[in-house]
Amino acid sequence: MSLVNFTTREITCKIVYYGPGRSGKTTNLQYIYTQVPDDRKGRMVSLATQTDRTLFFDFLPIDLGSISGFTTKFQLYTVPGQVYYNATRKLVLQGADGVVFVADSQLRQLDENIESLQNLQANVLEHGIDVRTLPMVVQFNKQDLPRELILSPEELDDALNFRGHPTFPADALHGTGVFETLKAISAEVLRKLSEGAGAARRG
Amino acid sequence: MELNPRFTFETFVVGASNQLAASAAQAVAAAPGSVYNPLFLYAKSGLGKTHLVQAVGHGALTRQPALAVRYLTLEEFVEQYHAAVAAGQSDAFRRSAEEADILLIDDVQFLAKHREMQAELLRLAEALQSAGRQVMLTSDRPPAEIQDLDERLISRLSGGLLVDMAAPDFETRLAILRRKADERTMVFASGVLETVAEIGAANVRELVGLVNRLIAFQAVSDVPLTPQGARALLTGDAAESGAAPAPAVAPRDSRDEFSAFLSAVTRSVAQSLDAWRSRVGEAVMRWQGEGYRTARLEQLLQNDVVPDVETELKQFSADIEELQRLAAEVAELDVSAAGHARFKDPDRVDEARAFAARLREGTAPPPPPSSALTFDDYVEGQANEAVVRAARLVAREPGRRYNPLFISGPSGVGKTHLVHAVGNALAAASPGAVIACLSATAFIEELVAAIDGGKLEWWRRRYRRADAVLIDDVQQIAGKERTQEELFNLFNALADAEKQLVFSADRLPTQLADVAQRLITRFEGGLVVELVAPDRSMREKMVQRLLQAHGVAAEDDVVQYLAARPADSARAVQGLVNRALSAMDAADASLTMRTVRTAIEGRAARPSQAQAISSLVPAGLDPTLSSREKLVWDWPDVGERLMEELR
């Protein structure tokens, strides 16, 4: 699957929401789901446990219709955050065009964020992709929580964003910052189009 | 739809905010189809788009009443189209639409809802524009911001003039208010209209609403309105009018997050996909700058289909590289041919390739060995047995057995014959092989001509592609430094490629005067053999063969007599036989011992060597053969000379 298929005139973007458990990846997708008109979205597939933890992954296909003569589709995925589901994460990452790293702004989750970032890098590398070449944005979720419980976007930026990705404070539950994040990762992914590398990257 | 008679240029209030739009519209009305085509006018609701677009219709009709002006809103356009399609009259609809001299379409922002109409409008706009007919459109936003608008339509609509109108400033508002009051023949106290203008309104329609309200109030009131009264009246329910600007902006603000996302993605995709156009454009500029034809790339730009830019550009530069390579090759063979257009057009690579191949083939191959001189005619005997065997081995295993073969020997002993015989044997062994066989003198002359004609590289190539090079009388290169250098390079190139080299000279390599040492050592590096004067048995064979060739039957004693005569070369034997034959012809008798003896010995006083030479050499032969230096008269007995094999 390639980002742009000139023959069938399709653009297919696969975007993976990555991050530690309970950071709000599924919440991001759910908010997007509520905002997309019915005729533009597919069924959101969510495989969750009884306690609402993502077991495998969420999948939300969005049809953006014809853009510049290209049938444009976005596929949004989340990975299960819990440490022991790494095999699933690796699977979901396969062929990803871009990654949204959803960080949990809570102070006590900082280590989990860092661990998850490292895990992302390792998994991406196993697919033979240098994480530095992969379009990525970082979302600092749960910024609506009380000040004393969370780190500010600046502090999180210092701690997590050493590669200088675009970052977005967010409150996914209420939708703040969700579409900004999606717009940013789309722009990053589509920029690859003009670089010409996107089409060739995965053949 | 009929034009509203009130919407003319005369009733349109021009201010700073709409000056550009108004003058563009005037220009279009004055000369439809020739300036700003299409004219795309966008402004927020109520700012005079409809007024201006209809004013263009009026203005044009005033000047040229015969013009077919068609004004309609997009909704009407869509309705008419759908009705036509439903009635199966879509072609008629298209024809009538294309007959309009001026097509004015209002509110095209609603195209977003009618995808099927986008294609129709695009087609219509193209048809009208190419026919030099005017198209003017209005919208509440620029083409690029109309949702879901086809990129081609965006570029088509933006292709003429894109002009916007802003909300009127204070002066314009005041002018509008005054004009409205005049139209209603209503007189307000001074300051009232100014106050209204100050209160402001988001658009003209709203402003007119304010005036209407004042007029209504005035009509039922006996007291003239004061500025304060007007302000109180209008701002009393100011919440309404104050909020009024909002709805004008509202459509964009109230767009949901998904729509915003969609337009962001649309922009990104459009930018990214259009990047290929600029890449192709850059390539066109670059190659055109270098003088290449870029029709193929320009064709890509014409297409709406997005090509595989990477592959196309790669193929194009590969073709150009191929052309450059071919042109360089051709330039070596024929400088003028390399400038031909075919070497500047990547679409004609095949042609250029064929041309180069033709030129390559067409170049005269180096001189071949003389077909008359073969091993079959070569007289072998004890004296030259070893040499001939070596030559035959070379012919059988060219390049590997003895390379080079250097044949030395005095003049007339058959070196040239042997060299050509080897050449012919090589040619026979591998048909199609290029065998160069020539004298050193000819070699030097060719080189001089090549240098003179600027075709040195071509000349070199000609010899380097030979499968074997045989050079006779190589002692001629003495003192010719340039020839020696070329020969040295040729030698190395061919020897490295295991191609056979054969040389002959009148002396041993070491005895070659004025020849570079590096060549001499190379000559010696293969096998050096020496041909000697024919011995008695060989002479006998030669005499027999010569007499046979002339169809003369001779007694054995005649043959023996001739063979026994002293002769130091094959040519000398030939001379003896010729004299005998001419004597026979003169006497008109058969070849008897007596005639021969008289012919050979009758003037056997051997008056002088010079006479002897001239008699030996048949007239018409190469004059060099008659030179004293070429002939050695006192030949030592070298019949049993050893041949040396150095490797």
DSSP assignment string, B382-412: TTTHHHHHHHHHHHHSTTTSSSSEEEE--TT
Q: Which of A65, A182, A190 sits opposite B261 (nearest CB)?
A: A182
Judging by beta carbons within 10 Å of its beta carbon (0-12, 13-18, 19+), is residue A50 exposed, middle or buried? exposed
Closest B-chain CA to A38 = B258
Give the CB-side neighbour count of residue B543, counting CA atoms within 13 A: 31
Residue (of B412, B466, B476, B492) closest to B444 by Cα position: B476
Q: How far apart are CA B267 and CA B149, in angstroms?
A: 11
DSSP B348: G
Read off the pLDDT of residues B304-346 as tens digits, 9 standing for 90 and up. Answer: 566 677 788 888 889 888 888 888 877 766 666 777 778 888 8
Terminal CA-to-CA distance of chain A, rounded, Å? 7
Residue B103 φ then ψ, to 5°: -110, 120
Residue B132 region, left (φ>0) first, then alpha (ψ -120 to 50), else beta?
A: left
Closest A-chain CA to B278 = A194
Cis preceding-peptide flag for B404 (omega within 30 of 0):
yes
Q: What pLDDT shows up at residue B620? A: 52
Answer for the pair B394, B422: CB distance below 8 angstroms, yes or no. yes
**β-sheet bridge partners, residue A102:** A139
Query: How many other CB atoms are there within 10 angstroms of residue B436's CB atom?
Result: 24
Answer for the pair B210, B203: CB distance below 8 angstroms, yes or no. no
Q: What pLDDT shows up at residue B508? A: 87
Residue B161 φ then ψ, to 5°: -120, 135
Among A6, A38, A75, which would you mutate to test the B interface (most chain B Cβ atoms within 10 Å of its Cβ)? A6
- A136-141 and A98-104 as β-strands: parallel, antiparallel, unpaired? parallel
Closest B-chain CA to A186 = B265
The answer to whether the Cβ–Cβ distance between A6 and B268 falls below 8 Å is no
DSSP states along B462-505: HHHT-SEEEEE-GGGGTT-HHHHHHHHHHHHHHHHTT-EEEEEE
Residue B365 φ then ψ, to 5°: -70, 160
Which residue has tokens 């703040």?
A176
Residue (of B208, B226, B214) closest to B186 by Cα position: B214
Question: If interface means Cβ-Cβ distance under 8 Å, which residues of chain B face chain A?
Answer: 148, 150-152, 256-258, 260-262, 264-266, 268-273, 275-276, 279, 304, 306-310
Both tokens assigned to B384: 């030259």
Q: Which of B268, B271, B307 sits opposite A186 (nearest CB)?
A: B268
Residues of A in contact with B304 (CB under 8 A): 69
pTM of the full predicted structure? 0.38
Q: How far apart are CA B161 and CA B28, in angstroms?
A: 11
The answer to whether the Cβ–Cβ distance between B270 and A68 falls below 8 Å is yes
Residue (of B334, B283, B333) closest to B309 by Cα position: B283
Residues of B in contact with A36 (CB under 8 A): 258
Residues of B in contact with A67 (CB under 8 A): 265-266, 269-270
- B527-530 and B405-408 as β-strands: parallel, antiparallel, unpaired? parallel
Closest A-chain CA to B259 = A36
Residues 23-82 of A with CB under 8 A from B: 35-37, 40, 64-70, 72
| Reported ipTM | 0.84
Among B149, B151, B273, which would you mutate to test the A interface (most chain A Cβ atoms within 10 Å of its Cβ)? B273
A174 lies within 8 A of chain B by CB:
no
Give the CB-side neighbour count of residue B277, counting CA atoms within 13 A: 11
DSSP B307: P
Closest A-chain CA to B306 = A6
Residue (of A81, A118, A75) closest to A94 by Cα position: A75
Q: What pLDDT shows up at residue B248? A: 31
Question: How many contacts (CB atoms, under 8 Å) link A and B?
Answer: 76
What distances in angstroms separate CA B446 from CA B51, B404, B453, B493, one per listed residue? 88, 22, 10, 19
Which residue has tokens 């309705």?
B79
**β-sheet bridge partners, residue B470:** B437, B502
Helix (H) or strand (E) holding B75: helix B74-86
Which residue has tokens 């890509």?
B300
Answer for the pair A47, A110: CB distance below 8 angstroms, yes or no. no
Residues of B in contact with A203 (CB under 8 A): none
Read off the pLDDT of residues B578-614 as tens digits, 9 standing for 90 and up. Answer: 888 887 777 776 777 777 777 777 654 444 454 555 5
What distances in angstroms separate CA B410 from CA B65, B152, B414, B534, one per listed residue? 109, 88, 9, 11
Residues of A in contact with B148 (CB under 8 A): 65-66
DSSP B375: S
Residue A115 has pLDDT above 90, yes or no: yes
Both tokens assigned to A203: 């053949």
Residue B165 DSSP SS3: strand
Residues of B in contact with A175 (CB under 8 A): 257
- A137 pLDDT band, cuts 50/70/90, is very high
Mean pLDDT by 10 residues, chain B (647 residues): 84 82 88 84 86 91 89 87 84 85 88 80 86 89 82 81 83 82 79 80 79 76 75 59 33 59 82 72 79 83 70 87 85 70 84 79 73 82 82 84 86 85 87 85 85 78 84 88 88 87 89 86 86 82 82 79 80 82 76 75 52 53 56 56 51
- Helix H segments across B290-340? 295-302, 309-333
Answer for the pair B344, B323: CB distance below 8 angstroms, yes or no. yes
Residues of A in contact with B265 (CB under 8 A): 64, 67, 72, 183, 186, 190
The answer to whether the Cβ–Cβ distance between B151 and A193 falls below 8 Å is no
Q: Which of A6, A178, A193 sits opposite B272 (nearest CB)?
A: A193
Q: How far apart are CA B427 and CA B467, in angstroms?
A: 9
Q: What pLDDT shows up at residue B80? A: 86
Residue (of B384, B367, B406) closest to B512 by Cα position: B406
Secondary structure, 3-state, chain A: CCCEECCCCEEEEEEEEECCCCCCHHHHHHHHHHHCCHHHECCCEEEECCCCCEEEEEEEEEEEEEECCEEEEEEEEECCCCHHHHHHHHHHHCCCCEEEEEEECEHHHHHHHHHHHHHHHHHHHHCCCCHHHCCEEEEEECCCCCHHHECCHHHHHHHHCCCCCCEEECECCCCECHHHHHHHHHHHHHHHHHHCHHHHHCC
Residue A200 φ then ψ, to 5°: -95, -15
- B134-139 and B102-106 as β-strands: parallel, antiparallel, unpaired? parallel
Residues of A in contact with B266 (CB under 8 A): 64, 67-68
Q: Starting at the earlier edge strand, list the strands of the sheet with B405-408.
A: B435-439, B468-472, B500-505, B405-408, B527-530, B644-645
DSSP B70: E
Sequence length of chain B is 647
A196 lies within 8 A of chain B by CB:
yes
Q: Which of A35, A182, A193 sits opposite B273 (nearest CB)?
A: A193
Nearest-10 Cα torsion for B510, B513, B518, B520: -30
> Exposure pattern of B70-99 as b/e (b: 16+ CB <10 Å)?
bbbbbeebbebbeebeeeeeeeebbeebee
Query: How many other CB atoms are there within 10 angstroms of residue A84's CB atom?
Result: 8
Nearest-10 Cα torsion for B110, B111, B113, B119: 170
Residue A197 has pLDDT above 50, yes or no: no
Give the CB-side neighbour count of residue B571, counting CA atoms within 13 A: 23
Q: Which of B264, B271, B272 sits opposite A183 (nearest CB)?
A: B264
The answer to whether the Cβ–Cβ distance between B272 and A200 falls below 8 Å is no
> Exposure pattern of B171-201 as b/e (b: 16+ CB <10 Å)?
ebbbbbbbebbeeeeeebeeebbbbbbebbb
Q: How far apart are CA B3 and CA B179, in angstroms?
A: 21
- Helix H segments across B90-237? 90-98, 115-130, 151-157, 170-183, 192-199, 204-220, 227-236
- B39-43 and A167-169 as β-strands: parallel, antiparallel, unpaired? unpaired
Answer for the pair B21, B163: CB distance below 8 angstroms, yes or no. yes
Both tokens assigned to B331: 């330039």
Q: How far apart are CA B26 and CA B35, in angstroms?
A: 11
Q: What pLDDT shows up at residue A199? A: 40
